[in-house]
Amino acid sequence: MSNSPLEVHMFPCLEDNYCYLLHDEDTGATAVIDTPDVPAIEQALKSRGWQLTHILNTHHHWDHAGGNLELKQKTGCTIVGPKAEKDRIPGIDIAVGDGDSFDLGQHTAQVFDTPGHTSGHIVYHFEKDGVAFVGDTLFSMGCGRLFEGTPEQMWHSLSKLLVWPDNTLLYCAHEYTLSNARFAASIDPGNTQLAARIEEVERLRANRQATIPTTVGLEKKTNPFLRPDDPGIRKLLAMPDANDTAVFAEIRRRKDSF
């Protein structure tokens, strides 16, 4: 039996969300990552000729789980979502958390708890396929706002992603890259790779092109939230001897009022 690659179809919806269809040609299994916009998802499915079999939720916010019940009712799909938010996400059939895995056809996702943005947020890492869906935990050059978690929790959550291979493709849920880039430049002005990335994303956004996916390697070099150990950033923040969590917390605090 041949193994078809995991196909990822990405499309923008709502104001600044990205939504993703995943498809395994061999079995026909098709998942959507979160349900921000039912008509947009239906149109994307139709354009591909795919039948929805699964919803994979990252967290309970309306722009991630708001379309769950309508899609489930229309397609009979199975809803997979975070154990820790199973009472806040409509229609969950399979609740998953840290250490669990989920098979979409012949493709396996490892599930990681990444509390911080919400208390039960999870991400899906298809390790063999080299792709991960990180919801509102990590953005290009940014990270999710801490609505339900502490900086300590979020830093621990982000650390789980940093050990994945550098070429892992990271698909996040929003196009926030340009505003994140402007903040990143204020925190890490001496970073030449960041400056180059900013030029690239300015060009992409001027042409209304997506800046996503990013990669683990690129984020490690350019995302200030992943660089609390950087001497230049520590100097700028006047926190030369603080621990990484404290530096991360200060960067997050500054971003909130940027």
- Kindly determine how many residues on this chain lie close enough to bind Fe ion according to the rule CB under 5 A: 3
Q: Is 64 a catalytic residue?
A: yes
User: How many Cα atoms are found within 13 Å in the side-chain-facing hemisphere of 38?
Assistant: 12
Contact partner, 72, from Zn ion, Fe ion, none, Cβ < 5-8 Å per class: none
Q: What is the footprint of Fe ion within residues 158-177 (CB under 5 A)?
A: 173
Cβ 131 to Zn ion shortest distance, Å: 20
Q: What is the footprint of Zn ion within residues 41-70 (CB under 5 A)?
A: 61
DSSP letter (8 states) at residue 174:
B
100, burial (CB in 10 Å: exposed 0-12, middle 13-18, buried 19+): middle
Which is the catalytic residue, given 23, 117, 121, 125? 117
Q: Does 63 bind Fe ion (CB under 5 A)?
A: yes
201: helix, coil or strand? helix
Residues 61 and 118: beta-carbon distance below 8 Å: yes
Cβ 59 to Fe ion shortest distance, Å: 8
Cβ 180 to Zn ion shortest distance, Å: 15
Q: Does 85 bind Fe ion (CB under 5 A)?
A: no
Which is the catalytic residue, given 24, 34, 63, 129? 63
Q: In Å, what is the CA distance from 141 to each residue of 61, 108, 214, 223?
A: 22, 27, 9, 4
Q: Does 136 bind Zn ion (CB under 5 A)?
A: yes
Using the rule CB under 5 A, which residue among 24, 85, 129, 136 binds Fe ion? 136
DSSP letter (8 states) at residue 173:
S
135: helix, coil or strand? strand
Residues 111 and 33: beta-carbon distance below 8 Å: no
User: Which positions touch Zn ion (CB under 5 A)?
Assistant: 61, 136
Which amino acids are annotated catalytic? 59, 61, 63-64, 117, 136, 174
